[in-house]
Amino acid sequence: MDSNPHVGDLVEFFKVLGEPNRLRIVGLLAQREHTVEQLAAALGVGASTVSHHLARLARAGLVTSRNESYYNLYSLQTGALSGMAKKLLAQAQPAHAPDEKEWSDFDRKVLATFITSDGRIKAFPMQERKFRVLLRHVLPAFSHGVRYTEKRVNEILSRYNDDTARLRRWLVDFGYMAREGGGGKYWRVDKE
């Protein structure tokens, strides 16, 4: 089971937009307001089909309508799209993004070499100094004062690299985290 509370919302969002005509309607409404008849003509489908798709988009909060004369004008709710984009990015990105001010030129060079654009470690360096940079990149995913099970530590570390055992062991060996004996709880240690 995924621990992210937005997963259900994201699944529903993609189900709604997964239908090609609904996606085309969103594209047309992104340009300007349309009536059902205008959308039907642009898509080459019946008005009842467009009405069905608009109802589904409205339930998802992506479309609203307003009366004008004898017609309903439909418009895209860009705020709903922005909200979903934020939820999606929160799901896709690691728990933190390194603060540029915290990194030296050397650190930035190491990160550029060994970290993908989404924050994952693509390879491990041979030099300890470079490896410590990667550990400091991972460390902010762990909160101060929280004790983590080994399973939870592995879940967090898997966002960065599949070799969670190596990362977990080296976080402890280099003093960034401590653990209870016998693989018990893990917690973050302040090195400053």
pLDDT (tens digit, 9 = 90+) per residue, 20-41?
888 899 889 888 999 999 999 9
Under 8 Å between Cβ of 45 and 21: yes
Going by the DSSP 8-state scheme, the letter that residue 184 receives in this structure is -
57: burial class by Cβ within 10 Å (0-12, 13-18, 19+)? buried
- Percent of the chain scored above 70 by pLDDT? 81
Q: Are strands 186-188 and 63-68 parallel, antiparallel or unpaired?
A: unpaired
pLDDT at residue number 26: 86
DSSP 140: G
132 or 10, which is more confident: 132
Q: Which of 38, 87, 27, 9 has the alpha carbon at shortest distance from 63?
A: 27
What is residue 141's DSSP assignment?
G
Q: Supply the pTM of this predicted model.
A: 0.47
Residue 77 has pLDDT above 90, yes or no: no
pLDDT (mean) for 165-177: 89
Residue 155 pLDDT grade (very low, low, confident, very high; cuts 50, 70, 90): very high
Q: Using one digit for the tens of pLDDT, what is the confidence trace for 112-124?
A: 899 988 889 999 8
Pair of tokens at residue 184: 């018990």
Query: Would the pLDDT of 104 be above 80?
Result: yes
Quick one: 73 exposed, middle or buried, by C-beta within 10 A (0-12, 13-18, 19+)?
middle
CB 58 within 8 A of CB 64: yes
Q: Where are the domains of the chain?
A: 7-83, 94-188
Q: Which residues pair with 34 in a beta bridge?
A: 74
Q: In CATH, what number does 7-83 get?
A: 1.10.10.10
CB 21 within 8 A of CB 49: yes
